[in-house]
Amino acid sequence: MEQSNPSDMVKNVVGAAGTALIAPIAPPILHGIAGIAVVGLGLFAAGSLIMKAGGAIGGVENPLKQLLGTKPAQR
């Protein structure tokens, strides 16, 4: 039979307590991060679509270049 080591017991108690504290907090944080990623991807897609539509309607390749004062590329 092995003797119990007090330092191992303390490590186990601290580990269990840490897990008990983090477990209720982790899922909302992960859901929040996933939500931010989904919203960011949606904004990126919407911005790309708007830029493509603006370019198609205006007849320029990149409307931002026109807004910034640079000339569009010659075809």
Instruction: Please name the amino acid found at residue 39.
Output: V
Report whether 46 contacts 34 (CB < 8 A): no
Q: Can you give the pLDDT at residue 27?
A: 86
* Residue given tokens 């931010």 in the structure block: 36
Rg of the chain over all Cα atoms, to the nearest angstrom: 28
pLDDT tens digits, one per residue of 10-54: 888 888 888 888 888 888 888 999 999 999 999 999 998 988 887
Report whether 70 contacts 62 (CB < 8 A): no
Whole-prediction pTM value?
0.46
